[in-house]
Amino acid sequence: MKKNILTIVLSVLLSGLVAYGVGKSNVSQAPAASEDAGTHIHNSEYRTVNLSLSDYPDFTFAAETAVDAVVFVKVTIMSQAPQYQGDDFFRFFFGDQFGGSRQRQGSGSGVIIRPDGYIVTNNHVVENATKIEVTLNDNKTYEATVIGTDPATDVALIKIDAQDLPTIEFADSDALRLGEWVLAIGSPLGEELRSTITAGIVSAKGRSMPNYDGKFKIESFIQTDAAVNPGNSGGALVNKAGQLVGINTAIISTTGSYTGYSFAVPSNIVKKIVGDLIDFGSVKRAMLGVSVSAVTNEIAEQMKLSSPSGVYINEVTAGGAAEAAGLKKGDVITSLGGTALKTVASLQEKVNSFHPGDTTTVEFVREGKPMTAQVVFNAVDQMGGATADDGSVAFYGARLKEASPEKLARLGLKKGVEIVSVGEGKMKENGAQEGFVIVYVNDQAVSKPQDVIDQAKKSKRAVFIEGVTAGGRRGYFGFGKE
C-alpha cells in the first residue's frame, strides 16, 4: 500500500514538472521525440500549441543566486510567570517569583543583507529569545545577537560575527506586477528541510489580514501562491533576477500548514526598517496624523469618485502633519508621494517609507474637487499619535483603548482603559500585559486613552499605574519618564 501511495505522489510531482498549459477539457499530452520537437498540448477546440523548453520559466539563476544568503534560525526561549500581578503590594517592587520557568525551542529563516553578518528575519521568530543560533547554507553555525525589532511590521534585525558572507540585493517591491513569478526560500518545518525553494506568482499586493489580537500593525503584504510553511518565516521572497522583494511572514490556513496562501513583507518596508535599526538603533516612524477608513460605494458616489478607492479621513489629529497641510475630516486621500492609494494598508505602507521631517505631496478630494498639498511628517509620539483602525492609541510601546462595557462589567469596574497590545517600550519592560485595564494613573481615575496620556504628561518624573488584570486581580506597575 505504501509503495502504491509513493508511486502516485511521484507521478503527480513528475507530471507537474512536465505540464505547463491546460486546455478546457480532454487534454492530452504527446510525448516529445526530442528537446527540439517540443511538447504538443491539444484542447477541446482542437488547437495545438507547440512549446519548446525555452518557453518554460527558468528559475535556476534566481535560485542559485539567492539560496546561499538564506539561513536557518534556531531560537531558545525561556517562558516565565508574569510579573507585578499579585494582590500583594510587595510584588510591585520584587516581582512574582512563584511561577517558575520553562525552556522551549523554535525555528525560522533569515536573509543575509550585508556581508558583515547583518541578517533580517521576522520579529515573531526571535521575540523573547534567550539564545539565537544561525546556520548558513554551508553548514557553519554562529550565535546571533538582536540588533533591533519592529513588532508593527514583524521585522527584526540580527547579527552574527562573520565576514564576506553572500548577500541578496534589495529590489523595488513597488515595481512588482501581478502574475510575476517569485521564489520562496527558507527552512519549512525545521532544519531537515533547510534551503527549500518553492515557486509561485504574485497573487495580490497591499494585502492586510484580520487583526485578531488587536496589536498595532502596519501591513501591506505581497500575497503569493509559493508554498510557505512554519519555518519559512523570515525567509526570502525573490524575483527571477534573484533580488529580494519580500520577507516571508505568514500564511492563512485552517490546518497550520500551507493551503495556497502566503504573505510577505514588501522589501521596501524591510529596507527602511533595517536601515533605521542599523543607523539609529530604533525605527524612526513618520506620522501623518489621521484616523482613516476604506472608501465605500456611498462615499465614492458622494465625493464623485470614479471608483471606491482611496482613503477616507475620519479624524485629523490636532497639531499633526495632516492638519498643518490643510487636510480635513471628510477628505479622501488618493495619492501620497506620487503613489496612488487604494486601501488603508497602502497608506500605511507609504507613510512608513518616510522619516520624520520628510516632505512630500499629498493628493486628495474634497467635496468632489481634486486638491494637492505639501505635507511635512511628524515623529510618532510615544504618548499618543495616529489613531489606529481599531481606535487604539500609542503609549510607551503599548496600544490603549477604552475598555468595552462588557469587559468592565466582567471585572466589576465602572470605567477604565484597556491595554490591547504591548510592543517594545517602557510599558512592556515594567510588566504591562495585554488585557490589563488601567483604572488609575498617578492616583487619578482614567476612562479614555487620552486621560492616561494627559496624566502621564503632567508627571515630571514617574508614571504609576493601577488597575485590574485580565484575570480579575489587582495589579500595579510603574516607570520613570527619563
Q: Chain centroid to CA 67: how far?
A: 23
Q: What confidence tier does 353 reach under pLDDT thresholds 50, 70, 90?
A: confident
Nearest to 452 by CA among 469, 439, 436: 439
Q: What confidence tier does 19 reach under pLDDT thresholds 50, 70, 90?
A: very low
Q: What confidence tier does 212 reach under pLDDT thresholds 50, 70, 90?
A: low
Catalytic member of 150, 154, 276, 451:
154
Fold of the domain spanning 57-283: Thrombin, subunit H (2.40.10)
pLDDT at 342 over 60: yes
CATH of domain 286-379: 2.30.42.10
Give tens-digit pLDDT for 226-265: 999 888 999 999 999 999 999 999 888 777 778 888 999 9
Look at phi and psi of residue 421 and say left if phi exceeds 0, alpha if psi is from -120 to 50, else beta.
beta
Please tell me the predicted confidence (pLDDT) of residue 450: 87
DSSP percent split of the chain into helix, strand, coil, nearest 5? 20, 35, 45
Catalytic member of 109, 233, 267, 353:
233
For 125, the 3-state DSSP assignment is helix
Range 171-175, long-range pairs (CB < 8 A, 24+ positions):
171/238, 171/239, 171/241, 171/243, 171/244, 171/245, 171/267, 172/267, 172/268, 173/222, 173/245, 173/246, 173/266, 173/267, 173/268, 173/269, 174/266, 174/268, 174/339
Catalytic member of 124, 174, 389, 390:
124
Contacts of 427 (CB under 8 A, 6+ apart): 395, 396, 397, 398, 419, 479
Please tell me the predicted confidence (pLDDT) of residue 459: 82
**What residue segments make up the domains of the chain, in order of their start?**
2-55, 57-283, 286-379, 393-480
Amino acid at position 212, single letter: Y
Q: In whole angstroms, how far apart are CA 95 and each of 83, 421, 431, 476, 478?
A: 5, 21, 9, 10, 12
- Please indicate whether residue 36 is annotated as part of the active site: no
Look at phi and psi of residue 460 and say left if phi exceeds 0, alpha if psi is from -120 to 50, else beta.
alpha
Question: Are 57-283 and 393-480 in the same CATH fold?
Answer: no
Query: For the chain, how far is it from start to end, CA to CA, in angstroms?
Result: 69
pLDDT at 11 over 60: no
Q: Chain centroid to CA 305: how far?
A: 30
- Please indicate whether residue 58 is annotated as part of the active site: no
pLDDT at 36 over 60: no
Percentage of the chain lying above the pLDDT 90 cut: 46
Give tens-digit pLDDT for 81-136: 444 444 444 444 444 444 456 788 889 999 999 999 999 999 999 998 999 999 99
Q: What confidence tier does 13 reach under pLDDT thresholds 50, 70, 90?
A: very low
- Please indicate whether residue 233 is annotated as part of the active site: yes
Residues in the chain: 482
For 427, the 3-state DSSP assignment is helix
- The CATH number, out of the four listed (2.30.42.10, 3.40.50.150, 1.10.150.120, 3.40.50.1000), of the domain defined by the range 393-480: 2.30.42.10
Please tell me the predicted confidence (pLDDT) of residue 249: 92
Please tell me the predicted confidence (pLDDT) of residue 300: 87
Percentage of the chain lying above the pLDDT 70 cut: 79
pLDDT at 79 over 90: no
For 52, the 3-state DSSP assignment is coil
